[in-house]
Amino acid sequence: MADLLNETLLAFAELAKCIPGRPHTRTITRWADRGIDGVRLEWV
């Protein structure tokens, strides 16, 4: 679970700029909702 006081939070659009290949924000949303191979992104 995300520790909101001690972690830096990024908007999905900001996160997309940090990932090689710059995936679409909808792709990042799918990673958070459904995950990939059983691994899901934490999000608030």
Predicted pLDDT of residue 8: 86
Identify the pLDDT of residue 37: 92
16: closest CA among 6, 26, 4, 2? 26
CA distance 26 to 34: 12
The DSSP secondary-structure symbol of 10 reads -
CA 14 distance to own-chain centroid: 9
pLDDT at 35: 93
- Which tens digits make up the pLDDT trace of 3-39? 778 888 889 999 999 999 999 999 999 999 999 898 9
